[in-house]
Amino acid sequence: MNKMTNTTTISLIVFAVTLSQSVIFSAARADGNTAEEFGGFVESPAQGIVALYDYQSKVSREDIARFFLPSNGFFKLRFEHRQMTGNFDVRNANKAKGEAVVAIFIINDPTFPMTLVAPEAKWGVLNTAQISDGNPERRILLDRAEKLLSRVGTELLGGIFSLQVPFSAMQPIYSIADLDNMKGKAISPYSLTQIAYSLPYIGLASARKTTYDQAVREGWAPAPTNDVQRAIWEDVKKKK
């Protein structure tokens, strides 16, 4: 494994923790007590590491750290930025993840897509080569990188799962045993809605039934096969 240097721990400040503390403090005051009388507040340390293995120089370490400011999340996780040398080998991603629970490999390789995410293996790849093609302005490059980090992070931290819908196939799986034990096989209503909205962006469309007249007006009707269809065809074409 490549030597790792310049390890930096980045904490995400959680609004939810602050809010819960405020609620507890307000309740204490309502009873005529103060937070100090309850022993004050304590916070458990974060468990596990989310490591960013950085194999590129297009986006600086400082900018990557800035992407994880408090406004980006609601969780206090332990993030570590690890500057790497050499080239990333996707075939060794599981091993390269090391002791990190979740790993994001930031690379610069024109043979890779913008992102490559394996939620079940808890690692993902962000490729700066694709987003820096054509030498965009720095602000554009950083905007693209921040968006992709959010996307990769959302997928790796469970944001794509439907835990509230037990019959959904989008349950978290991290092993073959998890897959075998999973009861869900269906697409959840939430996912169906998202798919319906996404199809046009992907370049897909659902088959649907409509009148021949409407199909001609929309421009996709097949050639007429009878007199009625022929009359509709000619009428619509004439009006155009």
* The pLDDT value given to residue 11: 38
State which amino acid sits at residue 53.
Answer: Y
**Closest-CA residue to 160 (of 126, 124, 128, 127):** 124
Whether 4 has a pLDDT exceeding 90, the answer reads no
Structure tokens at 120: 């079940």
Q: Which residue has better confidence, 68 or 127?
A: 127
- 8 A C-beta contact, residue 150 and residue 72: yes
Whether 209 has a pLDDT exceeding 80, the answer reads yes
Whether 21 has a pLDDT exceeding 70, the answer reads no
How confident is residue 170, by pLDDT bands cut at 50, 70 and 90? very high
How confident is residue 14, by pLDDT bands cut at 50, 70 and 90? very low
Coil vs helix vs strand at 122: coil
Q: Taking residues 150-158, what's their average pLDDT?
A: 92
Q: Which residue has better confidence, 73 or 91?
A: 91
Backbone phi and psi for residue 129, each to the nearest 5 degrees, phi listed first: -65, -40
Residue 124, beta-bridge partner list: 104, 117
In this prediction the pTM is: 0.77
- What domains, with CATH codes, occur in the chain? 5-156 (3.40.390), 162-204 (no CATH), 207-240 (no CATH)
* The pLDDT value given to residue 38: 67
Lowest-confidence segment of 15-24, 28-37, 173-182 by average pLDDT: 15-24
Lowest-confidence segment of 59-73, 159-173, 218-232 by average pLDDT: 59-73
Q: Taking residues 21-33, what's their average pLDDT?
A: 50
194 DSSP assignment: H
Helix, strand, coil tally for the chain in percent (to 5): 40, 15, 45
Q: Dump pLDDT digits (tens) for 46-77.
A: 899 999 999 999 999 999 988 876 444 567 88
